[in-house]
Structure 1
Amino acid sequence: MNLNATLFAQFVVFFILCGFTMKFVWPPMMKALDERVKRIASGLAAADRGKADMAAAEKRVQAELMAARTEVQSRIADADKRALAIIDAAKSTAAEEATRILAAAKADAEQQVARARDALRADVAALAIKGAEQILKREVNATAHADLLSQLATEL
């Protein structure tokens, strides 16, 4: 066996295998690697865009929260103002109602006093007649002396 012929045959087989590999195996493998590199690069770019979008969305959310807080505070202030206005209106209405009730009570009291005075005058007139009867020991005619009794009632 000749070492040179075996070595030469091995070189030939090696170069044939290398040529076959370079022609049929290497291009699909490189194509798959290139596609994988592109997918990884696009994934990283999408992640960067996602981070940027998330940061922008975070800023929009913060701005919306600030706007909502401001709106809520203004609504609370408006509600407080309206509550104070309603309270003031209720106080004024209550004061007017109290004045009206007080005036009605005074008028009612004056009417009751006037009725009580009239009743008292009538009672006094009746007592005066009875007293006069007792003194005179005779009956006084109330219809005959009506003018005198009304004058007496007005004087009382």
Structure 2
Amino acid sequence: MSINATLFVQAIVFLILVWFTMKFVWPPIAKALDERAQKIADGLAAADRAKTELAAANQRVEKELAASRNETAQRLADAERLAQSIVNEAKSRATVEADKIVAAARAEAEQQSVQAREALREQVAALAVKGAEQILRKEVNAGVHADLLNRLKTEL
């Protein structure tokens, strides 16, 4: 066989091989490559969507945290105001109670002072009668001189 015939047969075999590859081998490979490219594109799109959703979720979380901080600060301020009002109310009640106790103690002291004065007057009157008795060397009748003794008590 000549080189031309061999070359011609090899060209025909090559063309058959190319046709066979294009018809039966290349479409599954191209299909697999296209599917792979589509999966990669879907994955990238899902990653972009997830990134967007993550950013939105982060913004929502930041808003919620800010709202929570504000609410906590408000509650703390309310609690401090309530505590201050309770303390002020307790102070006012304590002041009123202390004033009552002081007034009662003063009244009791005044009453005891009056009682002590009365007892002292009685003793002074008794001593005055005894002294007069001693001076006069006779007995003085307290019942007869009661008016005199009462005047003496009031003067003392």
Q: Distance in 2 between matches of 1:54 and 1:90?
A: 52
Deviations 1:2-58 (A, max 9, x none): 222322332233233223322332122111111111111111111111121122222
1:29 to 2:29 alignment: yes
Q: Distance in 1 between matches of 2:143 and 2:39?
A: 129
Name 1:45's counterpart in structure 2: 45
Deviation at 1:126, TM superposition (A): 2.5
Name 2:70's counterpart in structure 1: 70
Structure 2: gaps (5+ residues):
none
Name 2:61's counterpart in structure 1: 61
1:130 to 2:141 alignment: no
Name 1:93's counterpart in structure 2: 93
Deviation at 1:154, TM superposition (A): 3.5
Between the aligned residues of both structures, percent identity stands at 62
Q: Distance in 2 between matches of 1:143 and 1:3?
A: 179
Deviation at 1:101, TM superposition (A): 1.4
Q: Distance in 2 between matches of 1:111 and 1:136?
A: 37
Name 1:113's counterpart in structure 2: 113
1:13 to 2:17 alignment: no
Q: Distance in 2 between matches of 1:12 and 1:100?
A: 127
Deviation at 1:80, TM superposition (A): 3.2
Deviation at 1:141, TM superposition (A): 4.9
TM-score scaled to structure 2, two decimals?
Answer: 0.82
Q: Compare 135-144 and 48-57 and name the one that shifted more.
A: 135-144
Deviation at 1:83, TM superposition (A): 2.9
CA RMSD of aligned residues (A): 2.4
Deviation at 1:148, TM superposition (A): 4.6
